Amino acid sequence: MQATIHATTVLAVLHNGQVAIGADGQATMGNTVAKSNVRKIRKLSGGKIITGFAGSTADAFTLLEKFEEKLNAYGQNMKRGAIELAKEWRTDRYLRRLEAMLITAAKDELLIVSGTGDVLEPDMGVAAIGSGSMFAQAAALALKKHAPQLRAREMVEEALHIAADICIYTNHNLIIEEITE
């Protein structure tokens, strides 16, 4: 059996009208680092939607393509596209075998999309997926509460670095994108 490339940390923060999403660059095969600078963040819809993925890389790219199709079919409506993707992902015999999760971010909303049909709009403007997600989420929530003067991008960066210090499947090679309008 071939080892699956997976494990990462993806974090999105919506704070004071700003949205930032970031991820580390590490991909592992089993317990070995396969690559340290994978780009897990993608801009869609001319930069109005940003998506991050965790899980199997090939599976995530398949889902990103499907999500982009849904965005195009539903007038770039992120929530509607995510719901339609989740419905197809859950019911399609091929898609339901895919092992990945997505965070999608637009200027005023964050969503987590999973293969179980879930489309979650997280509380408190923080969304996290991947192996280090709970570390990054806890750090981001603390920053929102105790350092509200920070920009969303700064919160994402600091929280991901904290997660990388704790989670062995997360590194410090970060890619962070913002929605600017």
Residues 6+ positions from 2 with CB-CB distance below 8 Å: none
Active-site residues, by number, are: 8
DSSP 108-154: TEEEEE-TTS-EE--GGGEEEEETTHHHHHHHHHHHHHH-TTS-HHH
Contact assessment for residue 147 and residue 162, using Cβ atoms and an 8 Å cutoff: no
Beta bridge partners of 21: 12, 177
Measured between alpha carbons, how far is 35 from 30 in angstroms, rounded to an integer? 12
